[in-house]
Amino acid sequence: MRRFAKTDKVGDLVRHAISNALMREMEEPRLRWVTVTEVQMSRDLAVARVFYSVLDSELPKKDAAALLQEISKKLRSYLGKNLHLKQAPELRFEFDEAQERARHIEDLIASIHKDDDAGPT
């Protein structure tokens, strides 16, 4: 997919605004454990794909997804009031698997090193 400077800039603004809203504006305390990692905007700026991760293992991915979906209208309204866009984008939340993949790779590397340290049997 070809990237465009305007969509990148708007995506960064939306990411920052949603992060602020989750930390300061939303009344659900469990949302403070949700981190917005990236926002990809459609070319017409009508849709925002919001990638997120969950920092607390006590909040399962399914629960985080349900909470985000539940407050998506409030977030969209917040964006409309705080960002100077023609229209607030539709928000589509997607769990960012990058952190889990990185942790899995680190575990694999650690197990290889552990096997090397054990030496030949």
Question: pLDDT 10s digit of each residue in the chain, 121 long?
Answer: 456 689 999 999 999 999 999 999 988 888 888 999 999 999 999 999 999 999 877 788 889 999 999 999 999 999 999 998 889 999 999 999 887 777 778 888 888 877 666 656 5
Give the range of the structural domain holding residue 97, as residue numbers without chain letter. Answer: 5-118
Host H or E run for residue 110: helix 98-118
Query: How many domains is the chain built from?
Result: 1
Structure token pair of residue 57: 């293992």
Distances in Å between the Cα of 78 and the Cα atoms of 16, 58, 105 are 12, 27, 38
